[in-house]
């Protein structure tokens, strides 16, 4: 390849990363920008908004709702995703491709379709009032795929030899799982769990349609306050917190999974 082409490609890569990270940096900077209209560039800095945000009741309540929904959805997704991963990775059966499509579907279809389908099912078909529980059910549905992807990748890599050896040596199924399978899966489960939690924590479209009135997750709280000018400083802090809260665990999940989860987000 010519030198010019190389230079151009490296430049494109650098410019691309600059564009990817610059907006996030602006949000982080604005959270300490003392100017309430957030004109650019910031002239002076303050921690006042952070002080106000950590005592903002609405934001704190929303944070708690997000954590509750995230933990519950992650727990359900860990169980269902792992079961599905074992079934699809270890067995060949009729309809296997359809099952794997079904697992990806909640995330492959536009969020609004998933959201309104569940909203309609809860309200019109089942006659259940929306609440935290309905949001947890919805979140679990699209978090399964994240756990599934991580566990499948790990199962594929570790094969079945060690488990067979354990059985040959006389361990029963439970013992083999406890002493052989689970330790090898542990970091994949942790990575999948972190990613599922992050996905649930960030989700807004499906949440909007499945969370009961009066309840707010953090993204919904931001959305509700986005168009209120006097809330702008606090929104900036919460947005900055969200960037840190969601990207740091994901960074660790990536390292934990050791390149297992080659695809991210909704994929």
How many angstroms separate the CA atoms of 21 and 247, rounded? Answer: 12
Q: State the Cα–Cα distance between residues 14 and 21, nearest whole angstrom.
A: 11
Number of residues counted as binding other proteins (CB under 8 A): 94
> Is 2 an interacting residue with respect to other proteins (CB under 8 A)?
yes
- Alpha helix segments (H runs only) across the chain: 3-30, 48-54, 57-90, 96-108, 111-120, 132-158, 161-168, 173-176, 182-202, 205-210, 218-225, 232-256
Residue among 24, 132, 190, 215 that touches other proteins (CB under 8 A): 24
Contact 263, 149 (CB under 8 A): yes
Nearer to other proteins, 54 or 109 (CB): 109
What is residue 45's three-state secondary structure?
Answer: strand
Q: What is the footprint of other proteins within residues 108-127 (CB under 8 A)?
A: 108-114, 116-121, 123-125
Using rule CB under 8 A, residue 102 touches other proteins: yes
Q: Does 41 bind other proteins (CB under 8 A)?
A: yes
Beta bridge partners of 33: 45
Q: Rule CB under 8 A: say whether 50 interacts with other proteins.
A: no
Using CB under 8 A as the binding rule, whether residue 174 contacts other proteins is answered as: yes
Binding to other proteins in span 76-95, by CB under 8 A: 79-81, 83-84, 86-87, 91, 93
Stretch that binds other proteins, among 47-55, 127-135, 172-180, 184-192 (CB under 8 A): 172-180
């Amino acid at each position: 390849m010519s030198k010019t082409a190389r230079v151009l490609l490296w430049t494109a890569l650098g410019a691309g990363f600059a564009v990817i990270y610059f907006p996030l940096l602006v949000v982080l900077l604005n959270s300490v920008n003392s100017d309430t209209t957030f004109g650019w560039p910031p002239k002076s800095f303050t921690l006042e908004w952070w002080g106000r945000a950590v005592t903002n009741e609405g934001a704190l309540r929303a944070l708690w709702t997000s954590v509750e929904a995230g933990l519950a959805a992650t727990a359900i997704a860990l169980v269902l995703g792992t079961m599905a991963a074992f079934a699809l990775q270890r067995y060949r059966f009729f309809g296997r491709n359809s099952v794997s499509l079904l697992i990806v579907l909640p995330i492959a279809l536009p969020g609004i379709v998933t959201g309104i389908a569940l909203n309609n099912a809860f309200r019109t078909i089942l006659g259940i009032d929306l609440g935290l529980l309905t949001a947890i059910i919805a979140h679990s549905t699209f978090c399964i795929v994240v756990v599934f992807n991580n566990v499948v990748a790990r199962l594929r890599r570790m094969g079945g030899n060690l488990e067979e050896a354990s059985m040959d040596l006389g361990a029963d199924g439970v013992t083999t799982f406890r002493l052989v399978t689970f330790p090898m899966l542990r970091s994949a489960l942790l990575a999948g769990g972190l990613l599922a939690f992050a996905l649930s924590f960030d989700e807004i479209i499906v949440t909007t349609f499945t969370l009961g009135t009066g309840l707010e997750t953090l993204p919904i709280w931001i959305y509700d306050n986005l168009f209120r000018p006097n809330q702008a400083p606090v929104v900036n802090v919460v947005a900055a917190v969200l960037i840190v809260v969601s990207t740091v665990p994901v960074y660790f999940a990536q390292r934990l999974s050791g390149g297992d989860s080659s695809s991210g987000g909704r994929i």
